[in-house]
């Protein structure tokens, strides 16, 4: 009788028990934000790019068929590739040094890196404008030590854009590399040395392959961010060396041509997603995270 009463009581209170959330329930807020702030704007851009000023693919044909626009695409990819390459060349030794140096010194270097990231982007770009101009510190130092006879043109060209963007992008490639290098067991390099490998062989055949996921993740981040960068190329490059983000801003703000602006933005988005897909194909999410 008592067990029957307990069963009836449990059945009575069963509807009041809270249902445990499923994985899908937990992802609903993130999916809602993704749809609201990414999928919906992209859909609107896609619609406007094929409907304004008239329905069809005329905007894409004009964008990809004009030599002027193709030169802007070329500028964008050349600068982004150079920035990524130079950032890797500088970032890898810095990340390796951070991984092997004493923790107290490493914390100071980390603080400098974070401080550079937290400093206002516009202020950093204007600082480079001052440093790179003909009467700036860099040209004065080069002339003073006798390396050059006259000031170098480092502003209003792609050289200045590459220098300024490399400085800004360095932390974004150093931090992923540092995380991957820290997980490499030092005993592996010691074993390579015991087997007769030189330092160069240990670097090329052991350290670089193990650090490749971090290099790929950092390179992708830097390259994609460089493709869509606006402030630094606009200030250091000038109108004669326009990049794709500046072109999109000009279409939307100055020319009020949403059709062309949407087409250019979607071309940039497709390139970005294609690069990300290629990296996932060769590295996967686990290797990109250094696991």
Higher pLDDT residue, 25 or 108? Answer: 108
* pLDDT at 17 (0 to 100): 55
Average pLDDT over residues 100-104: 84
**Is 216 in contact with 198 (CB distance < 8 Å)?**
no
* pLDDT at 38 (0 to 100): 82
Neighbours of 204 (CB within 10 A): 12
What is the C-alpha separation between 57 and 167, in angstroms, rounded? 39
pLDDT in tens, 227-248: 888 888 888 887 777 888 888 8
pLDDT in tens, 245-266: 888 888 888 888 888 888 888 8
Residue 203 has pLDDT above 90, yes or no: no
What is the C-alpha separation between 233 and 226, in angstroms, rounded? 10
What is the C-alpha separation between 149 and 81, in angstroms, rounded? 30
Q: What are phi and psi of 112, to 5 degrees?
A: -65, -40
Residue 59 has pLDDT above 90, yes or no: no
All structural domains of the chain: 56-288 (1.10.3720.10)
What is the C-alpha separation between 77 and 220, in angstroms, rounded? 13
* pLDDT at 228 (0 to 100): 83
Residue 61 has pLDDT above 90, yes or no: no
Share of the chain above pLDDT 70, in %: 89
Average pLDDT over residues 141-170: 87
Higher pLDDT residue, 267 or 17? Answer: 267
pLDDT in tens, 80-93: 999 999 999 999 99
Query: How far does the chain reach from its first CA to its final CA, in angstroms?
Result: 58
When the pLDDT of each residue in the chain is averaged and rounded to a whole number, the result is 81
What is the C-alpha separation between 69 and 251, in angstroms, rounded? 12
Residue 226, CA distances (Å) to 84, 166, 170, 173, 259 in order: 8, 9, 12, 12, 23
Angle at 87 between CA 243 and CA 173, to 5 degrees: 105
* pLDDT at 114 (0 to 100): 83
Cis peptide before 53 (omega within 30 of 0): yes
Share of the chain above pLDDT 90, in %: 3
* pLDDT at 90 (0 to 100): 92
Residue 32 structure tokens: 């809602």
Q: What are phi and psi of 7, to 5 degrees?
A: -65, -45
Average pLDDT over residues 99-117: 84
Q: Which residue has the tokens 């869509």?
A: 228
What is the C-alpha separation between 152 and 135, in angstroms, rounded? 10
Residue 190 has pLDDT above 60, yes or no: yes
């Amino acid at each position: 009788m008592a067990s029957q009463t307990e069963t009836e009581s449990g059945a009575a209170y069963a509807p009041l028990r809270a249902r445990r959330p499923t994985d899908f329930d937990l992802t609903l807020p993130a999916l809602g934000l993704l749809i609201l702030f990414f999928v919906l704007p992209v859909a609107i851009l896609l619609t406007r790019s094929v409907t304004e000023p008239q329905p069809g693919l005329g905007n894409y044909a004009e964008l990809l068929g004009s030599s002027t626009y193709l030169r802007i695409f070329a500028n964008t990819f050349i600068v982004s590739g150079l920035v990524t390459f130079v950032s890797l060349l500088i970032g890898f030794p810095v990340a390796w040094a951070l991984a092997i140096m004493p923790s107290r010194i490493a914390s100071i270097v980390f603080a400098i890196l974070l401080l550079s990231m937290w400093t206002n982007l516009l202020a950093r770009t204007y600082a480079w404008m001052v440093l790179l101009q003909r009467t700036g510190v860099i040209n004065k130092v080069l002339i003073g030590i006798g390396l050059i006879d006259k000031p170098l043109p480092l502003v209003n060209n792609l050289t200045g854009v590459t220098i300024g963007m490399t400085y800004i992008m360095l932390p974004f490639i150093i931090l992923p590399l540092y995380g991957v290098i820290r997980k490499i067991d030092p005993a592996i390099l010691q074993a390579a040395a015991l087997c007769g490998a030189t330092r160069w062989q240990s670097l090329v055949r052991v350290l670089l392959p193990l650090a490749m996921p971090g290099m790929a993740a950092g390179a992708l981040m830097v390259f994609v961010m460089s493709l869509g960068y606006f402030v630094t190329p606009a200030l250091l490059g000038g109108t004669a060396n326009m990049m794709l983000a500046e072109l999109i801003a000009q279409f939307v703000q100055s020319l009020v041509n949403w059709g062309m602006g949407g087409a250019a933005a979607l071309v940039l988005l497709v390139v970005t997603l294609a690069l990300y897909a290629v990296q996932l194909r060769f590295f996967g999410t686990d290797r990109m995270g250094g696991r």
